[in-house]
Structure 1
Amino acid sequence: MDHSKKIENLLLLASGIALIATLGSLYFSEILLYIPCELCWYQRIFMYPLVLLLGIAAVKKDAAIVVYTLPLSVIGAAISLYHYLVQKISFFGEHSISCGVVPCTGQYINWLGFITIPFLALIGFTSIFIILFMVKKLSTKVGN
């Protein structure tokens, strides 16, 4: 498989991950009626545009989108990691910012004792980052 086809497939995969993460967050809030805390909203701010940007990039086979989407995935992952630490480590939870109506320490889900909504977001952002990093490496080989 040539590099341009790999890039196309990777962009499609990243777009799919962003779409699944977005639909998952909407499922939690709109179907299960979990009210997002403030940090959850910030994570959404960085995930939702990735669906559109990466979707368009996948259709257009445009690896240059990495310049715009890598920072979104890094910032989103940082927020997710911080939120996860607030939930799971008492020091962070006790010294975190006030989150408003819904506390950021709350855990609507806690599968297997460690999988929470911010953890799922962190996995999504990290996966997208790794894929975009691979796209960047491949695109330099192609010359895009």
Structure 2
Amino acid sequence: MYVAWTIALVATGGAIFIGEVMGQTPCVLCWYQRIFMFPLALILGLACFKGDLGGAKYGLLVAVPGLLIAGWHTSLYFGLISQAIAPCSQGVSCTDANMTIWGAVPLPLLSTLSFTAIAALLLIALRKEKS
């Protein structure tokens, strides 16, 4: 649980840093991913503080939809899904080349990896709770 919470904190801090410090405007799908990641930092933090492994259930309910959106965004970014069905018709493009950090690592991929790791760690925590 603590590792999942740390990942959520780093992802939340990274999203805020990229948007507010680096000045990179998030696309529509990035906003949706933030809607699911930011509460994870709070939910998992409270669960860790209280020593409540049951908090993994609530975290998983938030992480899975975030993972689905992040996976969709990553598929769009890499051209696996047609851009004709992308929700980013106005404003910042969901597949823009600027959607990277350090000029090489795609932000949608980082989000997908973060949600995947959190979901996997929460599933492990739930299995430990049952045994």
TM-score by length of 1: 0.83
Name 2:7's counterpart in structure 1. 17
Structure 1 pair 112/98, CA: closer, same or farther in 2 (3 Å)? Answer: closer
Contact 2:28 2:87 in 1 (8 A): no
Structure 1 pair 33/112, CA: closer, same or farther in 2 (3 Å)? Answer: closer
Structure 1 pair 14/35, CA: closer, same or farther in 2 (3 Å)? Answer: same
1:90 CA displacement: 6.0
Name 2:115's counterpart in structure 1. 125
Structure 1 pair 90/133, CA: closer, same or farther in 2 (3 Å)? Answer: closer
SS in structure 1 of the partner of residue 33 of structure 2: helix
Q: Distance in 2 between matches of 1:74 and 1:82?
A: 12
Work out whether 1:63 is the aligned partner of 2:53.
Answer: yes
Name 1:28's counterpart in structure 2. 18
Q: Distance in 2 between matches of 1:132 and 1:75?
A: 14
Structure 1 or 2: more helix by fraction: 1
1:98 CA displacement: 3.4
Q: Distance in 2 between matches of 1:61 and 1:99?
A: 44
1:94 CA displacement: 3.1
Contact 2:57 2:122 in 1 (8 A): no
Q: CA RMSD in A?
A: 1.7
Higher deviation after alignment, 130-139 or 90-99? 90-99
1:128 CA displacement: 0.3
Q: Distance in 2 between matches of 1:75 and 1:61?
A: 25
Gaps of 5+ in 2: none
Name 1:80's counterpart in structure 2. 70
SS in structure 2 of the partner of residue 106 of structure 1: coil
Q: Distance in 2 between matches of 1:91 and 1:68?
A: 30
Structure 1 pair 92/111, CA: closer, same or farther in 2 (3 Å)? Answer: farther
- Highest CA radius of gyration, 1 or 2? 1
Structure 1 pair 25/104, CA: closer, same or farther in 2 (3 Å)? Answer: same
* Structure 1 runs (4+) greater than 6 angstroms displaced: none
Q: Partner letter of residue 35 of structure 1?
A: T
TM-score by length of 2: 0.91
* Match for residue 107 of structure 1 among 66, 85, 97: 97
Count of residue pairs brought into register by the alignment: 130
Work out whether 1:40 is the aligned partner of 2:34.
Answer: no
Aligned residues with identical type, % of pairs: 33
